[in-house]
Amino acid sequence: MAVFTRPPRIACTTASTEQGDKPAADKPAAVFSFGAPADGAKPFSFGTPSTFGAPAAKADGGDDKAKAAAAGGGAGGAGAGKAKKVTATGEPAVNENAGSQFDALVHLERVDVTTGEEDEEETFKVRCKLFVFVAEDVYGGEKRSNFWKERGTGDVKVLKHKSTGKNRLLMRQEKTLKIAANHQIMPETVMKPNVGSDRSWVFEAFDFAEEELKHDTFAIRFKNAENANLFKDAYEKAQKENTALDAAAGGGEGDAAAAAEEEEPDDL
């Protein structure tokens, strides 16, 4: 029959090897705790503030390196970066290879546009609205008669030819520049008030606005009475100048004819 016996106890003691060390009995026993930090470590805490988003700490010597780089850039800053290209005049050079380039498919030639006013001098100009009287017209299959048709709004001008001295009236529509009135100022033209209005005139003229000489009756209206009177004065002044030119031309022709008759031999 087997007999089990308890093994004998072995007493272990720790002896101090160096003089001045405290005996092991004086050291407190280790106790487990959530708040007990390890040696040299920060204690764990649920209330520790988060450092998310805080700037990273500079490495040791970072400030010194930045200062050294700045000093080096100040001394040789021109050589640190790429040198900019400049032209002979000192202006920055343009990189011709930058961006996309496309060749024009259609090459248009420059065309000089003439208005017919190059040889004339503008002596008067004012903004107005022009109407022309239509005795009879057909529009949309409907026959119309005796009504005023608007020619347009724009500047009416009195133009004087630089070589002949003749005056003419010209008006263009302000956006399309289409000619609304174009005729030589004749001495027999008379300005009449339109239905008693102090800012509108009615007159007749042989007009060439539609590239066909026609006898038209016009009604011209201005912003105020002052502009209307200024236009009338300029028109009547141009009438007097044209009348004097016609008289001078007629007198010259008469003198030339008389001189030719005197030179004719009597035996013919």
Return the structure tokens found at 116. Answer: 């017919």
What are the extents of the domains in the chain? 120-250
Rounded distance between C-alpha atoms, residue 151 and residue 215, angstroms: 15
Mean pLDDT of 60-65: 55
The length of the chain, given as a count of residues: 268
Band (pLDDT 50/70/90 cuts) for residue 165 is very high
Q: In the block, which residue shows the tokens 């040889």?
A: 119
Q: What is the CATH number of domain 120-250?
A: 2.30.29.30
Mean pLDDT of 70-75: 52
**Per-residue pLDDT tens digits for 177-217:** 999 999 999 999 999 999 889 999 999 999 999 889 999 99
Rounded distance between C-alpha atoms, residue 133 and residue 39, angstroms: 113
Return the structure tokens found at 99. Answer: 């961006």
In this predicted structure, the answer to whether residue 44 has a pLDDT above a threshold of 70 is no
- State which H helix or E strand residue 65 sits in: helix 62-80
Give residue 141's identity as a one-letter amino acid code.
G
